[in-house]
Chains A and B, each alone.
Chain A
Amino acid sequence: MAKFNKLDQSDYYKLILRCVHCGFCLQSCPTYRVLGIEADSPRGRLYLTRAMVDKRIDIAKDVANHLYKCTMCANCEIACPSAVKYTDIMFITREIMAEANAVPLGAEQLVNTINNAKNIFMMDNTLRKDWVIYTGVEAPIKDKADMVYFVGCVTSYSGRIQGVAQAIASILNYVGEDWTLLKDEWCCGHPLKLEGATKEFKKVAEHNVKMIEETGATKVVSGCPGCCLALKKEYPEVLGRKLNFEVLHFSQILDEYIKKGKLKIPKFESKVTYHDPCELGRILGIINEPRRVIKSISDKFVEPIERGKEGFCCGGGGLLKVTDSQLSESIANKRLEMLIKTGAEVIISACPTCYQSLADATSRKNKALQVIDIAELIAQRLGLM
Chain B
Amino acid sequence: MSNKNSELAINRVISNSEALTSEEVEKFEVDGLKPKAVVIPKSMEEVAEILKRANDEGISIIPWGGGTMMSLGNIPKRVDIILLLKRLNKIIEYLPEELVVTAEGGIILDELQKVLVNKGQFLPLDPPYSSLATLGGVVASNSFGPIRHLYGGVRDLLLGIKVANSDGTLTKFGGKVVKNVAGYDIKKLYIGSIGTLGVITQVTFKLAPLPEFEESFLAVFNSINDFVKAYKEVLMVSHSSIGIGPSAIEGFDPNSCEILNSLNISKGYLLALKVLSITKDSMRRRISELLEIVKKHDSITAFSINGSEHESLWKKIQEYPNLSSNKFSIRCKISTLISKVGDVMDFTQKISEKYALQYSITAHLGLGILYTYFNSENPYELVKAIEELRAYVLSIGSASSLVVECAPLSVKEKVDVWGPIRKDFFLMKAIKDRFDPKGILNPGRFIGGI
Q: Does chain A touch chain B in the assembled complex, meaning CB atoms less than 8 Å apart?
A: no
A residues at B contact (CB < 8 Å):
none
B residues at A contact (CB < 8 Å):
none
